[in-house]
Amino acid sequence: MRMQLKRILSAASLSCALFCGIYPSGGQQARAASSGGAPSASPERAQEAGGDLGSAFYVRTDSDQTVVITPSVHFRKKLGPSKKTGVSVGYLADVWSSASIDIRSAASDRVVEQRDEIVAGVDHEQGLWSFGVGYRNSHETDYLSNSISLSTKYEAFERNTAFEFRLSGAMDKVGRSGDANFSEDVRTVSAWFGVTQVLTKKLILQGSAEWRWSKGFLSSPYRWVPIGDNLKNCQSAEGFCLPEAHPGMRARVAAVLRTRYALSQRLSLGAGYRFYYDQWKVQSNTGTLDFAATVARGLLLVLDGRIYQQSAAFFYAPQYGTKSLVDSENDSAYITRDRELSKMWNWRAGLRAEYESPLNSAGIGAKAGLMTAVTQYHYPEFLGLDKVNALELAGSVGVVF
Amino acid sequence: MQCTLVSFLDSLDIVSLRKRGLGLLVLAGLSLSLAACARVKPYERGRLAKSDMRWDGDSELLGGQKHATDYREGSAGGYGGGGGGCGCN
């Protein structure tokens, strides 16, 4: 059994599987569709530019001995003289190295892996309407995902209100390294609806909700759960281990309410709240707050904070004794060693700078960005790990034309 | 048709999920409907067009952070990120 534990990936693959976002449409419209934005109030620069080419670099390291390095590149172009149709393509490589608690508890060596992702999209504006379609392919040695999304946006009431809708579907194939016969499917469908409203000339508000349904193999193919009292890992001879077993279906709902207010001509305040609940009885609350200041022409500084809290899944237990399994109150055979299904909370503080120069006489401009953030995770009911500190750094450069 | 939908949702054992989600959506919808009474003229929206009034920052710069956040927590969604998976750690 232990031989099969030579490599462990976190069952975080599930939550990632449900939220590795694809941006269905290119250019500023894609960002507006994916992140909201005031109706008819997208940055003036986006109205002028016909496209952009850029790259970014992201590094994350944490006290759980995991390092992630993600270089990426993208290209967007508005087509035709009217610039109403746009295309976009992008690529990123997600290279990570880990000896996390999951891997250490299985007495495995450090794992190094790479994920390659390709995205492509087309968007089109027609009067008060805009439409987008996107495709995303994510490939790893043991995981393949293909997803598509369709989105639309309509602006009403003199463009004071924007209604947005997005539908996406994903077909994933889960494999297991070293086991050519292991192949499982995951299907995910999600629907997102958002309304953005200009309240005053200084205040905007957005409400949105999203439903997601996933069906298939929702466990980690690598994670095993120690069975036995006071047993923390699968190295001991005092107990035994079983493969992680999650329910085969998960329905989720999340609702978000957020607002932005212009405190002055150069300073604004943003605040948001998200409520989340799912079929596995995980419930979470997320609060965000940020200050954004234009400190010079084209230079934006943002100070942001985030706090998150969640309850545990109904089948989560810090330990599964043999007796508790037999006398299971919930009458289920579901077991997990996924810390993301345990009770947890975290906070994050970040600072970033974004710069975009004016277009020159040739119609070309430059842009750049820097970001850093610290996050502290707390796991009060997870054996072997009670706190993780993480540091993130990112930079981006590009040209706008 | 409605009964079929209700039966389907009930079979998923997400009754409370459905209630909570719909309740929040209705609340948000009502808030925004009331807000729609306030009309702001296009020439009054100049301040809202500034870059500091965007909901989120540069998607390329913040893409890695969003990705990391999503798969290190038990919940996700609400911001319109879409579906699709990976075997990320």
Chain A's closest residue to B65, CA to CA, is: A392
From the list B12, B75, B88, the residue facing A310 with the nearest CB is: B75
Give the residue, A108 or A154, on which the prediction is more confident. A154
Q: Taking Cα atoms as reference points, which of A332, A398, A326 lies closest to residue A365?
A: A398
Average the pLDDT over A234-243 and give the result.
72
What pLDDT is attached to residue B33?
Answer: 63
Give the residue, A185 or A223, on which the prediction is more confident. A185
Region of residue A201 (left: phi > 0; alpha: psi -120 to 50; beta: else): alpha
What pLDDT is attached to residue A82?
Answer: 85
Residues of A in contact with B57 (CB under 8 A): 302, 352, 354, 369, 371
In 3-state terms, what secondary structure has residue A68?
strand
Q: ipTM of the predicted structure?
A: 0.84
Q: In terms of C-beta density within 10 A (0-12 exposed, 13-18 middle, 19 or more buried), how is residue A79 classed?
A: middle
Residue B19 Cα, gap to closest chain A Cα (Å): 10
Asked whether residue A31 carries a pLDDT value surpassing 70, the answer given is no
From the list A256, A300, A352, the residue facing B79 with the nearest CB is: A256
What pLDDT is attached to residue A76?
Answer: 95
The DSSP H or E segment spanning B2 is helix B2-11
- Is the CB of B62 less than 8 angstroms away from the CB of A42? no
A288 touches chain B (CB under 8 A): no
- Is the CB of B85 less than 8 angstroms away from the CB of A310? no
Share of chain A above pLDDT 70, in %: 82
In DSSP notation, A107-150 reads: TPPPEEEEEEEEEEEEEEEETTEEEEEEEEEEEETTEEEEEEEE
Share of chain A above pLDDT 90, in %: 68
Residue B31 Cα, gap to closest chain A Cα (Å): 9
The DSSP H or E segment spanning A261 is strand A249-262
Average the pLDDT over A102-131 and give the result.
89
Strand partners of residue A54:
A74, A398
pLDDT digits (tens, 9 = 90+) for A196-205: 999 999 999 9
How many CA atoms within 13 Å lie on the side-chain side of B58? 27
Asked whether residue A226 carries a pLDDT value surpassing 70, the answer given is yes
pLDDT digits (tens, 9 = 90+) for B33-89: 655 566 889 899 999 999 999 998 899 999 999 989 988 999 989 987 755 566 665
In 3-state terms, what secondary structure has residue B9?
helix
**Residue A288 to residue A290: CA distance in whole angstroms:** 7
pLDDT digits (tens, 9 = 90+) for A273-302: 999 999 999 999 999 999 999 999 999 999
Residues of B in contact with A340 (CB under 8 A): 71-74
Q: How confident is the model at residue A30 (pLDDT cuts 50, 70, 90)?
A: very low
Q: How confident is the model at residue A23 (pLDDT cuts 50, 70, 90)?
A: very low
Q: Taking Cα atoms as reference points, which of A388, A307, A377 lies closest to residue A343?
A: A377
Chain A's closest residue to B41, CA to CA, is: A158
Residues of B in contact with A202 (CB under 8 A): 47-48
| Non-local CB neighbours of A375 within 8 Å, separated by 6+ positions | A346, A347, A348, A389, A390, A392
Q: How confident is the model at residue A14 (pLDDT cuts 50, 70, 90)?
A: very low
| Amino acid letter for position A17 | A
Measured at the CA of A331, the angle between CA A328 and CA A335, to 5 degrees, comes to 65
Average pLDDT of chain A, as a whole number: 85
pLDDT digits (tens, 9 = 90+) for A339-357: 999 999 999 999 999 999 9
- Its pTM stands at 0.83
